[in-house]
Structure 1
């Protein structure tokens, strides 16, 4: 943990946007971060729009939305307090770590690793795998052959990427496995949560585009396409050959039937079961899922 003057924190945050300005004692020292509920003296905290502060808490530094009337020794006004607070936390908590490849990791000779890649304990990297610069691979991760992972990705512990998908042909009452010859292609700035599985394609690849965020315990079946900046929340299941268009949000424990499409910017509610294509910009919920309304600008800001 380091301490910085408020103006130094402000200058750091200006790298990420110009919708932020500083009010109060710009030379005050800020030491670390804390939550509003368990505030630590001299630290930086943040408040959600519409929430209240106990004025007796003696807040030193506060990140808050423009138009919010709260008091602290120094205030960082912005449009997105959560984003700027956690960026400031990276500075104040000194989160940078040197990349390390564990001695217990197994890495195929044909695998290609970019610069500053980290690989955790007991992870397996298969043949012809490519991992881009600054990507972090957790512990006990399995990455099978012919997987490409871009730059600045985070693959959390226990994830399995590139395994054979759940594909069978029924012959004389028996389920016989279908061979999978495709791979998995993951773009830049993608997060894959703990114990999530992403299966390789049958002939073509399973594709996860830039900026996609996948939570823990998700299942991404063979030949799925998830387009850029979409979000897949915990325990969701995406069936084979489903297509999730750009900027979509799949809520907790949602299920997308195989070969169905989620339109650009749509939101699938928690626990919904999608059995039909979802048009662009819609919010769907329930089981089976049905359209309940258009997705709003406020939705797009929050999710």
Structure 2
């Protein structure tokens, strides 16, 4: 299992980083992500509320890696690693992080008396991802490339249309919550859930080559095909047993329609999208009251957000 976060995890909004409990809250989230085995997180807009320096200090000794292929300082120097490579279950995975594009350098973090405020800029996403995906494929020889995209959804969809060498784009920005895997021209966009209320679970079958097919769609299509073939067999039996011209004409039309639908289903199941091909299956684990809290972690949470407080 590979645990990833698409970013925008530390604050409810960029302005909420100014709250008195903001630092303790962000420190707790980062420490727990690390303790729970999160391998990487993209740096999103809502993660920069306390600045770049804070993020680097908090993760200096952590296994959790903060990634961004396009977040740079005012001089254009990248502030975080672009990617990491990890092996899970014998599969070599390249993980790339990206942050939102900015028209110009923007200040982040808290302004301190006598100190210059930190400034960052988001460089164009597509060239940064394309270059990193190519490097991961050619130099690191990865089997799979996942982009953690702390981007607005329309930008993530555009990236998935253009990102050569990318398999999945996990998108986080607006807090949309659960959704459907959306296959674009080159990659599939995955909504990861929002505000810690659910966790997206993506199960991959990597046998074969080519693009990943949605196993949920494949399963539904196979079921529909089985039902259709039963209806088609019955229609053909009725057609063979009737001599009435009007009824024969109606049945011939029905058979032709069912055969056309069968061809469409078979086309959906073709092209390497069989049960032995590369597939993905997206589901969500809802983190509601039926999922018990860890008592030790709960105590840490209540120190930051006491029961009965507006933030709890």
TM-score in same-fold range (> 0.5): no
Bin the TM-score by the shorter chain: under 0.3
State the TM-score, normalizing by the size of structure 2: 0.22
Query: Whose relative contact order is higher, 1 or 2, with alpha carbons under 8 Å and at least 6 apart?
Result: 2
Q: Hey, which of these two has a bigger chunk of strand by percent?
A: 1
State the TM-score, normalizing by the size of structure 1: 0.23
Q: For the pair shown, which has the larger CA radius of gyration, 1 or 2?
A: 2
